[in-house]
Each structure stands twice: as structure tokens, then as C-alpha cells.
Amino acid sequence: MSLFKKMFSREKKETLDKGLEKSKNDFFSKLGKAVAGKSKVDDEVLDDLEDVLVSSDVGVGTTVKIIKRIEERVARDRFLGTEELNRILREEIAALLSETNSGEATNFHVPADTKPYVIMVVGVNGVGKTTTIGKLAYQFQKEGKKVVLGAADTFRAAAIDQLQVWADRVGVPIVKQNMGSDPASVAFDSVQSAVKQQADVVIIDTAGRLHNKVNLMNELTKVKRVMQKVIDNAPHEVLLVLDGSTGQNAFEQAKQFTAATEVTSLAVTKLDGTAKGGVVIGISDQFQIPVKYIGVGEGIEDLQVFNKFEFVDSFFKK
């Protein structure tokens, strides 16, 4: 099986190619300058490549890993031409992503033996959390799943209203209370309602305040504990939504949320409007949490299941 075999539909692949265009062009522009006039991958080229990766928001820790892998290949192959650098980078980044993102998922699906499957969504305000929930609900529904939404971000009235808009747009039920209500109470009602309705999936929105990590940790722990009164091992998934366009700030948010709660998967949004797509590589590697979804456009279909092979293929496509 080819490492980069095509698995996406043509339409989805074109959307991914277009969504990563700014990141790709910025990266290869920098890479071109780094190797200009050089024929051999030497220490100077590797130093310049390190700068390219860091400035492309891959992150220092992940950049060091990539450079070390390439250094080992240079030592092994003795003479490595700069014209081969594109292929080597592509292979090493794919290998790095493979260590965290197992499997080759291309469709939105939930385990058939877990019903309802409970997804708790976390992330700061403004990262596209509510939009991601709405698009997820749409995709699951398109797969034939019955979905319930829970508006447990009761800190902002706008959050409840926005989720209602998405519930109406997608045509799925929503469980909500008034602004200022206990988030855990909303989460409890949402899971209970999903059980009664024999729903396949229930997606719980939560507040994204980072000003006090202890309060955030306590609130999320309480939400989880209360849901477990209805379903023993709920939530089955804690999805952290990060804004890819914020680059290194996304790393900091990931650090805060992984310290506050057990995050099991990531969604990286807004990749189409930025040249910071390299952040997906760094976050996936540094936190050892699989990137499950990426946002590559504003359309309802533009939330895609993250496929490491297709991502690398689009990122390095000439």
C-alpha cells in the first residue's frame, strides 16, 4: 500500500488542497530561500531548515525531532542533495504524525457499541467551538446518526443562542437552560434526554474560560462526574477545539486544557485563512493527542476528518 494513496473524494481533497494553500506557499517560499544556491544538505542548510520549521509554527520541540531525523539520514546516506529535501521532509513528517494519529479514517463515525456516544467539547471562546459542534452534528446526522446537543456553556448568553442557531440549521434537538445555570445540570439533562430519545451521539458544549485554571478544572470535573450518573464512563471523548490561525497561542491553549482535563482528541480550525498550518504537526506531536478533525473552510461540509496521509500530501503538493 502506498503511504500517500488517495482515499478522499476528489471534492474533499480539492477543499483540503485549497485550505492548506497559504500554509504550503509560505513554507515553500521560506524553504526555497533556505536552499538557494546549495546542492548538498549540510549543517548550514539544516540550521536554515530549523528556522523555516519554527517560523512555520511547527514548534521548537517538534522541529528538533524532525531535524534530528534528517541529520541521521544525512549521516547514513553521506551525500544528500537539496533537491531531495522535499521528499525527505514529507516522509519524516508523515512518520511523525503516524506515531500519534493511528488509522486512516476518512468518515465521521462513532463506535456502534456505545449509545449514546458522549462527546464533551472544550476550548476558549472564539476558536470556532460552537461552529465545530454544529458541523459535527451535521456530519453525524448525514451518516444516519441521531444527534442531541447540550448547551452547557451557560457563562455567555451568546453561546446558547449560537448553538440554538446550529441546532435549527442542522435540525437536531438541543437541551438548554438559562444563562448562568449550572453547566453540570445542563450536561446531566442533555445525556438523560439523549438516552430517552435513543440518540446515537450527544455533543456537550462547555465554557472556555482560562483566567483561572483551578476553576476550569473543577467545573469540567463536575460536568464529567454528573454525566456519569447517567452513563458510567461518560464522556467517551473530550474534544479540544483549537484555532490554527493563532499559531503558538494554540500550543498554550492546548497546554492549559490538557492540564485541566483529560483531552482525548483535537480539532484544529480556521486553517484555510492562515499560513500557520504547520501548527497541526507540532500540536499532534508535542501533546501526543490525535488530531481528529480539521477546519479548512467556512462551509458546513468544510470540517474534515483529519487524515495524516492526505494532510501531508496536500501540504507538500507542488
Q: Which residues of 135-161 are buried (b: 16+ CB within 10 A; e: fewer)?
A: bbbbbbbeeebbbbbbbbbbbeeebbe
In the prediction, which pLDDT does 5 show? 45
User: What is the rounded CA–CA span in Å between residue 50 and residue 63?
Assistant: 6
Could you tell me if 239 and 122 are in contact, meaning their C-beta atoms sit under 8 angstroms apart? yes
Q: 3-state SS of 158-199? A: HHHHHHHHHHHHHCCCEECCCCCCCHHHHHHHHHHHHHHCCC
Could you tell me if 206 and 239 are in contact, meaning their C-beta atoms sit under 8 angstroms apart? no
**Which residues have CB under 8 Å from 38's CB, separation 6+?**
44, 45, 82
User: What is the rounded CA–CA span in Å between residue 166 and residue 180?
Assistant: 21
In the prediction, which pLDDT does 78 show? 67
Q: How many other CB atoms sit within 10 Å of the CB of residue 1?
A: 5
The grid coordinates listed for 113 are 457499541
User: What is the rounded CA–CA span in Å between residue 217 and residue 227?
Assistant: 16
Could you tell me if 151 and 174 are in contact, meaning their C-beta atoms sit under 8 angstroms apart? yes
C-alpha torsion sign, points 153, 156, 161, 163: negative
For 44, the enclosing helix (H) or strand (E) is helix 43-55
Could you tell me if 80 and 73 are in contact, meaning their C-beta atoms sit under 8 angstroms apart? yes
User: What is the rounded CA–CA span in Å between residue 83 and residue 86?
Assistant: 7
Could you tell me if 67 and 49 are in contact, meaning their C-beta atoms sit under 8 angstroms apart? yes
User: What is the rounded CA–CA span in Å between residue 150 and residue 164?
Assistant: 10
In the prediction, which pLDDT does 216 show? 81
The grid coordinates listed for 171 are 435540525
Give the type of residue at 163.
L
Q: What is the pLDDT along the chain (318 residues), one digit of tens a residue?
A: 344 444 567 888 889 999 999 999 998 898 888 888 888 888 898 999 999 999 999 999 999 999 999 988 888 876 677 778 888 898 999 898 888 876 566 678 888 889 999 999 999 888 999 999 999 999 999 999 999 999 999 988 899 999 999 999 999 999 999 999 999 999 999 999 999 999 999 999 998 776 566 788 888 999 999 999 999 999 999 999 999 999 889 998 898 899 888 999 999 999 998 888 899 999 999 999 999 999 998 899 999 999 888 898 888 886
User: What is the rounded CA–CA span in Å between residue 239 and residue 120?
Assistant: 6
Instruction: Render 217-284 in DSSP notation, one character per residue.
Output: HHHHHHHHHHHTTTSTT--SEEEEEEEGGGTHHHHHHHHHHHHHS---EEEEE-GGG-S-TTHHHHHH
- Rg of the chain over Cα atoms, rounded to whole angstroms, equals 21
User: What is the rounded CA–CA span in Å between residue 49 and residue 92?
Assistant: 14
